[in-house]
Amino acid sequence: MIISEYPSKLSLPQTNPGVATVLEYLIIKFPYIDAHIWRQRIADGKVHCHDGSLITTQSLFKAQQRIYYYREVENEPCIPFRETIIFQDQHILVAYKPHFLAVIPGGKYVNECLQNRLRRSTGIESLQALHRLDRVTAGLVIFSVTPDSRHRYHHLFETRQIHKTYQAIAKISDGENLIGQEWEVKNRIIRSEPRFCMRVAEGEANSHSVIRCVQQSTQKALFELNPVTGKTHQLRVHMQALGWPILNDKYYPQLQPLSADNYSTPLQLLAKDLQFIDPVTQQLRSFSYGSNLSLR
């Protein structure tokens, strides 16, 4: 059994969903984890409150109470690619995340994620990701170093003051001349079935991206993508909507059968550039990952 070195945090909701205890809430919150596993975790002292006091099977549900627990998996894959620290000061750390590495613990990954790898390598246990990338997407991720200034950087993301630029590669048809063209995509994205997939639906737009073609060969094109909003899988769905699904995407346009990661065919999507005014120093911050996606 692999146990996370760091606890995961959960805030109980303001509205009680009809439970009496914390245990009952955990059981309905995580339907894919058997109830006996939560009971065993509690018995082993692996679920506790913010002040360190242990949760018992009889601990009452209290709205907005913070609960900490330790993720467990039977076997955890080792991702054979390394992260790179691009920048670090007393407030933030910017790192390059390789394809296939999760940003934070989730599913079958507890210690093999960017956040926990960086905590180990830097010794900064308070390090916390300020945003997410899909596990299969590579690129830049910003981390908060200290809780004291964390809310100021969270505010940048909440108010869309971070300018992000991605690159993607897609197959194109013979004869298409796309270089220099630009598309503004606005539509409504909602959860589909299964729920980890998204789809375009009728109604008011809740997603917005600007996409342009910057390079092409006879069969592929390199696109530059600027997301204005940040919906789950937004760029992957928008590229599909334009008729150019991102190369090696297992979800779009059609969900592929579950299979092991093929490290030789990563999703061709890269979070390449981040730019913002630092809320602490008031300086312009501009970070870029040096290598481009290749059409070869």
pLDDT interval class at 175 (50, 70, 90): confident
pLDDT at 40 over 80: yes
Chain mean pLDDT for the chain: 95
User: What is the per-residue pLDDT for 129?
Assistant: 97
69 close to 53: Cβ distance less than 8 angstroms: no
Map out the domains of the chain as residue ranges: 2-73, 84-162, 165-270
pLDDT interval class at 259 (50, 70, 90): very high
Where are the strands (E) in the chain, listed by range?
2-3, 8-11, 47-49, 66-69, 72-73, 84-88, 92-97, 128-129, 138-144, 163-171, 182-191, 198-201, 207-216, 220-227, 269-277, 284-288
- Beta strands at 138-144 and 182-191: parallel, antiparallel or unpaired: unpaired
User: What is the per-residue pLDDT for 101?
Assistant: 98
The domain defined by 2-73 folds into 3.10.290
pLDDT at 170 over 90: yes
**The domains spanning 2-73 and 165-270 adopt the same CATH topology:** no
Average pLDDT over residues 268-291: 96
* Residues whose CB is less than 8 angstroms from the CB of residue 103 and which lie 6 or more positions away in sequence, other chains included: 97, 113, 114, 115, 129, 132, 133, 135, 141
pLDDT in tens, 42-78: 999 999 999 999 999 999 999 999 999 988 888 899 9
Reference 239, options 259, 256, 222; nearest CA is: 222
When the candidates are 3.30.2350.10, 3.90.550.10, 2.60.120.10, 3.20.20.370, the CATH number that belongs to 165-270 is: 3.30.2350.10
The domain defined by 84-162 folds into Pseudouridine synthase (3.30.2350)
DSSP-derived 3-state class of residue 217: coil
User: What is the per-residue pLDDT for 117?
Assistant: 96
Average pLDDT over residues 225-237: 97
Average pLDDT over residues 278-285: 96
**Percent residues over pLDDT 70 in the chain:** 100
Reference 227, options 242, 209, 245, 206; nearest CA is: 209
DSSP 3-state percent helix, strand, coil across the chain (nearest 5): 15, 35, 50
Name the most confidently modeled range: 5-9, 175-179, 242-246.
242-246
pLDDT in tens, 134-145: 999 999 999 999
Half-sphere exposure of 185 (CA within 13 A, CB side): 26
User: What is the per-residue pLDDT for 163?
Assistant: 97
Residue type (1 letter), 161: Q
pLDDT in tens, 104-131: 988 889 899 999 999 999 999 999 999 9
Radius of gyration of the chain (CA): 21
pLDDT interval class at 195 (50, 70, 90): confident
Task: Round to whole Å and give the CA distance between 197 and 189.
Answer: 10
Reference 236, options 201, 203, 268; nearest CA is: 268
pLDDT at 1 over 90: no
Phi, psi of 109 (to 5 degrees): -110, 120
86 close to 66: Cβ distance less than 8 angstroms: no
Q: Which residue has the tokens 């993607």?
A: 168
pLDDT at 290 over 90: no
